[in-house]
Structure 1
Amino acid sequence: MNQELCNDAVSKSSNHVAGQPQPICPPTLSGAVSVISPKYCAPYPVDLSIIRKVLKLTHDNYTVSDVNGNPVFDIKDELTLVRHHRVLSDPAGVPIVTILEKVMTAHRRFNVFKGDSTDMKDLVFTAKQSHCIQWTTKLDVFLPNNTKEDVCDFKVKGNWLERSCTVYAGDGDKDSNNIIAQMHKKHKVNSVVLGKDTFNVTVQPNHDSAFVIAVIIVLDAVNDLRAMR
């Protein structure tokens, strides 16, 4: 899979093709990255809004829309006594990835799988806290072929109290210029009353919007006190 696929796969109408994600595509020579599928890469900056609605103490729902208000992704969040998982779907309800937290780990760790699978053969990426105890928000993201996990493939850094973060390709400390996406909270007067949070996300050209949203959902889960073990 190459740069041409990333450029041709997404139209400016932000209408995404429904279906299962394609195999992982590594970074191309031009710097474009497709982790979940090249159809979620666009040759221009993509602005998205994530709306989180707190439904009850056990789960939230999220919707993701483009600048015109058209639905792009949907996220279902379920917390049970057995496990805590989230499913990122397209507007038609077809699962894109399933986000599952691993239990009994020193660092909070999440595995992200293709579709509705939770089988390790369908692993898309793994994300974990950079440190067991941290005062700022940091996530290390590893692709399946990075088995040693000495250096992360992506880094997320930010301040979750302010609902802001930056996603980097590579180690965000050494590769601080390799920004692929940024998020900040959109403040609305009626947000608290309606039990909603709105986050604005900008994904840089030729980068995977579905991957960025999945990483942000993991970040939200890491900072969710209800899910702390």
Structure 2
Amino acid sequence: MTNRIYPKSHAFESTKYAISTTADIQCPPPSPPPPATLTVWRKSLLFNCKGFTVFDAEGNLVFRVDKYDRSDKGEIVLMDAAGNPLLTIRRKKLSLGKHWEIYDGEESVNPRFLVRKHVNFLQLKSMAHVTSSDGGLVYEIEGSYTQRSCAVYDERRIAVAEIRRKEEVSGVDFGLDVFRLIVQPGFDAAVAMAFVVLLEEMFGSRSLAISTR
């Protein structure tokens, strides 16, 4: 880039000038990327299926969950727009709906996350604990899923994902079946959506009818 030349001072009648290079210019740090805002529709695009359909801010399909009513595999698969499996959610055997496992792809060993439904009437805000396979606490989910107002917090108590009601458009209230999933940069949107599926199973008005293994 060509150096830009500026007079040192208007008060001095001198032919000396100061040269300012790009190294002298203090550029502001780059702005962090904005969070991803997904629109979650609590409905499968397939006939006779329960599930979710998820769109990005441009209206592109990004995630799908399709659960046939008569399926008894005891699992839910989160897929991308093309139907490729991203994560598989399974209820832990004999857990009575309180313990769940999240696997990469369609794997059945070495779960990526273990999720436990939190039932404590003294801590109404806490809904679920998420741990890694070695038992270390990773995330905690707090708020109210039934009101579509909750957040996923990491170990530093920073919200990495949030569920919010979708704003009215031209006076149209979308109710509880369409809502926002806001994912902060650096957090896996697929994992955030898997948490949404689990919250639906734990606290939703109608579940995806997962059976135990």
Establish whether TM, by shorter chain, passes 0.5.
yes
| 1:50 maps to 2:45 | no
**Counterpart in the other structure of 1:15:** none
The AA in structure 1 aligned to 2:39 is S
8 A Cα contact 1:163 1:183, kept in partner: yes
Q: Look up the SS of the partner of 1:53 in the other structure.
A: coil
8 A Cα contact 1:163 1:185, kept in partner: yes
- Are residues 228 and 210 of structure 1, via their aligned partners in 2, closer, same or farther at CA, if it must alter by over 3 Å? closer
**Counterpart in the other structure of 2:139:** 154
**Whole-Å separation in 1 of the counterparts to 2:54 and 2:131:** 24
The structural deviation recorded for 1:142 is 0.8
Higher relative contact order (CA 8 A, sep 6+): 1
Q: How does 1:134-145 map to 2 (within 5 A)?
A: 135-136=124-125, 138-145=127-134
The structural deviation recorded for 1:109 is 1.1
**Whole-Å separation in 2 of the counterparts to 1:209 and 1:130:** 23
**Counterpart in the other structure of 2:54:** 64
**Counterpart in the other structure of 1:182:** 162
Question: For each residue in 1:57-114, what CA deviation from the matched residue of structure 2 results, as whole angstroms up to 9, or x when unmatched?
Answer: x952211111110111111234558454211111111100111112322661111111
Q: CA RMSD in A?
A: 3.1
Return the match for 2:112 from 121, 124, 145: 124
The AA in structure 1 aligned to 2:182 is T
**Whole-Å separation in 2 of the counterparts to 1:136 and 1:78:** 32
The structural deviation recorded for 1:137 is 5.3
- Are residues 63 and 197 of structure 1, via their aligned partners in 2, closer, same or farther at CA, if it must alter by over 3 Å? same
Structure 1 unaligned spans of 5+: 1-41
- Are residues 81 and 208 of structure 1, via their aligned partners in 2, closer, same or farther at CA, if it must alter by over 3 Å? closer
8 A Cα contact 1:110 1:127, kept in partner: yes
Sequence identity percentage: 26
**Whole-Å separation in 1 of the counterparts to 2:97 and 2:61:** 33
| 1:218 maps to 2:198 | yes
**Whole-Å separation in 1 of the counterparts to 2:99 and 2:36:** 28
**Counterpart in the other structure of 1:209:** 189
Return the match for 1:164 from 144, 149, 152: 149
8 A Cα contact 2:75 2:91, kept in partner: yes
Question: For each residue in 1:119-150, what CA deviation from the matched residue of structure 2 results, as whole angstroms up to 9, or x when unmatched?
Answer: 223x111111122667555110011132xx5x
8 A Cα contact 1:165 1:183, kept in partner: yes
What count of residue pairs does the alignment treat as equivalent? 173
**Counterpart in the other structure of 1:3:** none
Between structure 1 and structure 2, the one with the greater Rg is 2
The AA in structure 2 aligned to 1:162 is Q
Question: For each residue in 1:46-67, what CA deviation from the matched residue of structure 2 results, as whole angstroms up to 9, or x when unmatched?
Answer: 1111111279xx9522111111
User: Which structure has the highest helix share of the two?
Assistant: 1
Structure 2 unaligned spans of 5+: 1-31
**Whole-Å separation in 1 of the counterparts to 2:44 and 2:78:** 17
Return the match for 2:95 from 92, 105, 127: 105
8 A Cα contact 2:44 2:65, kept in partner: no
**Whole-Å separation in 2 of the counterparts to 1:75 and 1:54:** 7
- Are residues 79 and 108 of structure 1, via their aligned partners in 2, closer, same or farther at CA, if it must alter by over 3 Å? farther
